[in-house]
Structure 1
């Protein structure tokens, strides 16, 4: 087990997995490294996922989140230092940075990173060393931004459950199986939005990637909110929606996967306010949002369908990030949705690691008419 810090104590297993006495049956452990047919081609084998059926965790407890972007220097002098370059991907959404090494940032630089990502929604940092650090050092870096979230169903490197691993081989049979009952791989979602305190500043770094393909798309949920009419904005304020983790848990069970923590549902405002920027954003996503509280089924379904369609078709407030070796993509999970794009059939591995610090419980500030 990785070193546990004070912000991670809620993630401790509720039972000890190993002891000195023989047991009738040991919990089953599935390891991707054992499925490599004797030849491991992954560039970072310690990052290959493991699913331990004996790994169980207690319910998450509330914690006080410190928003490091709030009050950070907007000149970004400790982040975008001499020799760095910031280039925007689109006018409203997404940027790319070179000449900055995230792992070497001072605390002031990390605070400014949180602010920049909140403003631009997603930022790709090139030529990073995060993948080559000891895993615990990478986790320590990410832990500055909030309490580590342990995903209830995904694979993780053995001994480091705080890391969420994204892993696909990309071979033709996997591609055909994935698209057998769907026309597209696009699945807009905000990570684990069913938690009482969903993630904020989130890090995903490349280990192995296809030469072409496997990009990630992002939607700017602030701009999606801004495009709505004043009357609809006003109506959405005060509404809450139910976000559910039960379907994800059931999907894992049906595939003989793990469920490390019992699934939960949460009620979150449909319009949430970012604590650092004060911006309002839509906070619904097709992956986990199930129903609007207080609406009848048909009413809820109709309004959510409109919002999901509005988010998904907004190409003018979306950005597409292309992966490259040494890339770390940082996004603010509170004000974006995203989707992996499964479009390569060359057999190349797509292997990434996600550090997922939790943030504050979503909150809403009062609606202010635009004339004011």
Structure 2
């Protein structure tokens, strides 16, 4: 098979690569799979360009990286029913509830910087995302490299947060978003599914994840999710809250310089390392619809746990983006 067309995601940066034109046949080639996995491990994100825009291709690309983690709620729409297990469908309709004003823009589907499943003791390995309905403006998905964030965080904050653990709880009520909250932030209404998500997760204990962790390759990763964060373990004081807020605000500030924002095309698919990268959504004008589909790759980095050593046999109604 032909050689892969691999280029940097951002010139001069180590975070991310682009692979153009990978085919369904190539996704089954062991040598190609090994090369793609190596690129993902080293760079933390891959944008696949000019690929077949189908559920079959979405699943085939995902399968390169490991088994899929199915969504625990059967109520969440699947693509083509059960034809492609593990592919979920996320649609925002025209003028749907959930609009907010952020930095002077009234948008829907805006999400702050976060990593997926922060509210669980286990973290999925990655997400694979594609766009079906793309608004004419906005609707971008942003990504931040935790290795770069650690290196660029102010030395004072880095020293204070280095050995801290952060508490998280499922909370999709956007009015409750606290750490790093923009000054110009007004929630006009909550998403229609928010109450059901909160009800399903009300008895789940809080999770705990390290603010900084070290990869097998030696790099330190700043891995703080401003969204879903509740405080610092053992330091739920005004001082601890101020520290977490300061780190979150610096993440937002650094994001203006370091983030990669992906403007979608129907022939794009991408994967990001959920143990390394943060992601966000820019939001878009409520007059337009947006529809995304994604798979979730199983895995865990083994550093999270539930508060107080609690175990959880409940199924959390997860909202993935």
Give the conservation status (yes or no) of the 8 Å contact 2:212–2:221.
yes
2:283 corresponding residue in structure 1:
342
User: Mean alpha-carbon deviation: is it higher for 99-108 or for 308-317?
Assistant: 99-108
Structure 1 runs not aligned, ≥5 long = 1-77, 365-372
1:210 corresponding residue in structure 2:
135
2:294 corresponding residue in structure 1:
354
Whole-Å separation in 2 of the counterparts to 1:254 and 1:164: 17
2:69 corresponding residue in structure 1:
148
Whole-Å separation in 1 of the counterparts to 2:16 and 2:137: 20
Structure 2 runs not aligned, ≥5 long = 177-190, 305-321
Q: 1:209 to 1:254 in 2, by over 3 A?
A: closer
TM-score (norm 2): 0.72
User: Mean alpha-carbon deviation: is it higher for 207-216 or for 325-334?
Assistant: 207-216
Whole-Å separation in 1 of the counterparts to 2:150 and 2:69: 29
Q: Does 1:265 align with 2:206?
A: yes
Q: 1:132 to 1:357 in 2, by over 3 A?
A: closer
Q: Please show how residues 49-64 of structure 1 align to structure 2 within 5 Å.
A: none
One of 318, 330, 338 as aligned partner of 2:259: 318
Please say which structure displays the higher CA radius of gyration. 1
One of 146, 149, 162 as aligned partner of 2:86: 162
Provide the secondary structure at the position in 2 that maps to 1:356.
Answer: strand
Whole-Å separation in 2 of the counterparts to 1:90 and 1:307: 27
Q: Does 1:298 align with 2:220?
A: no
Whole-Å separation in 2 of the counterparts to 1:153 and 1:248: 19
TM-score (norm 1): 0.63
Q: Does 1:174 align with 2:96?
A: yes
| Alignment coverage as a number of residue pairs | 277
One of 28, 47, 58 as aligned partner of 1:124: 47
Give the conservation status (yes or no) of the 8 Å contact 1:156–1:164.
yes
Q: Which structure has more RCO (C-alpha within 8 Å, separation ≥ 6)?
A: 2
Q: Summarize deviations over 1:204-242 as a string: whole Å, max 9, x none.
A: 022222344311111111111111355643443332111
Whole-Å separation in 1 of the counterparts to 2:88 and 2:37: 20
- Name the Cα RMSD after superposition: 3.5
What displacement does 1:149 show?
4.7
User: Mean alpha-carbon deviation: is it higher for 111-120 or for 305-314?
Assistant: 111-120
